[in-house]
Structure 1
């Protein structure tokens, strides 16, 4: 699907009327972890990955509340001590990330900012969240994401999943790894997600939907320790980063 070439900017709200709501899609099963439960319910120390993530967001002074989208057949969240936290709203997730985020956005007023964050990124730095949120004070800010510049050599592989080979080396100039949180006005994000889904566009994150709708998305250089836990080897690394942040 071709990305529209025109760009839009969203006029931000005045600081007095701005509310930041964290949105966490957590309805996935995380099959690559090869675990007996969805990866967000694996533990690091005494807490699950999801608890680490939700508590990190709730502790940020600029975030007013957290909305988490869970699978309708989730069997684990009710066992967590924070299930009835006053700052937490629970909604049913969908079959895709975009559908889960859409369901969560129903709980937000259109003029609120949706700070969408992966359930499996418990190591996000609070100061990076602050730097992203501070951008809402700029007159020309239409939305942005935490990201890190690509530092490694990038290879384009063949489509053979079992035995891939290198097709070519890609230039890494101006390439970034997209992370989360990703911050957009709730009404604009709802519209962008709906438009992209209707068009059959590939929506891998909220920024891709906003790009499809023609909005400008800023990149906020952030701490590369903000890893997404997807494979078993990521767990000890995440534990190390969490211990360092204490």
Structure 2
């Protein structure tokens, strides 16, 4: 990459939260870390599939134009969801990796929307993102992502024999953020960066922001609430159900009062 590849700062200017946008939800994976035969996105959570909660949440975001869900070629469950019947919800066939699914959705969207269209990519396994965080993300720079500032002391590991690890060093906690989703970028730019990254260095593409970074861009970090965790392990389902029940209790009804935190 040369200096001429870097993104001019003014191109990453904020957009108004009222501008329309699309959301991509990659949901073609198997979720192997859950240790279940059923794909993670269809595991039951508070009496309905995990992905149904996520889609219900997204459909309530302000000014969302449409949602593209990338599903597996042999998926026979998605169309049975009540949320799948919403006219704003569309599907494409995803790929073997998350990035392949996102690119498939971007290709689909590029055939009908201009390249400057704002796109948010959100994990199917993050059903609890706060609407207030979505508004802050929409009001942020044109390339941005929700993230959680590290609250624990962060250690860099030194692998040793026998599969063990020792501490190599302690990293400055103030510089460590845990990436979440949604991650936001203009449609054309994200599609180009993701396609280029998958061709040149696929191992480095762990999320959409990493593809933008490889092309010389610097997405803005937007602090998010701690409830926006990703359901990855069985215990996460228990925590997600507890938070859902708390959020839906009569005492919690009304506008969200959550604020992003930076725990000391």
- TM-score using structure 1 length: 0.89
Q: Secondary structure at the match of 2:169?
A: strand
Report what 1:69 is aligned to: 70
Report what 1:143 is aligned to: 143
Instruction: Name the structure, 1 or 2, with higher relative contact order (CA <8 Å, separation 6+).
Output: 1
Shift of 1:203: 0.4
CA gap 1:63/1:161 in 2 versus in 1, 3 angstroms: farther
Q: Which has the higher helix share?
A: 2
Shift of 1:158: 4.4
Q: Secondary structure at the match of 1:106?
A: helix
CA gap 1:16/1:218 in 2 versus in 1, 3 angstroms: closer
8 A contact 2:118–2:186 mirrored in 1: yes
Shift of 1:12: 5.7
Any unmatched runs of 5+ in structure 2? 249-264
Report what 2:118 is aligned to: 113
Report what 2:40 is aligned to: 39
Q: Does 1:238 align with 2:243?
A: no
1:144-190 Cα shifts (integer Å, max 9, x gaps): 00011111122233457974322423312311000000011001000
Partner residue of 2:135 out of 130, 133, 137: 130
Partner residue of 2:218 out of 175, 199, 216: 216
Aligned length: 240
CA gap 1:14/1:241 in 2 versus in 1, 3 angstroms: closer
1:67, 1:89 → 2: CA distance? 5
8 A contact 2:94–2:100 mirrored in 1: yes
8 A contact 1:3–1:212 mirrored in 2: no
1:240, 1:16 → 2: CA distance? 30
Q: Does 1:227 align with 2:232?
A: no
- TM-score using structure 2 length: 0.83
Shift of 1:107: 3.1
Q: Does 1:192 align with 2:193?
A: yes
Q: Secondary structure at the match of 2:96?
A: coil
CA RMSD of the aligned region, Å? 2.4
1:152, 1:186 → 2: CA distance? 35
Report what 1:138 is aligned to: none
8 A contact 2:14–2:142 mirrored in 1: no
Report what 2:154 is aligned to: 154
Report what 2:178 is aligned to: 177
1:90-126 Cα shifts (integer Å, max 9, x gaps): 0000111111111111232222111100000001111
Shift of 1:216: 2.0
1:51, 1:44 → 2: CA distance? 9
8 A contact 1:153–1:169 mirrored in 2: no
CA gap 1:61/1:143 in 2 versus in 1, 3 angstroms: same
CA gap 1:237/1:20 in 2 versus in 1, 3 angstroms: same
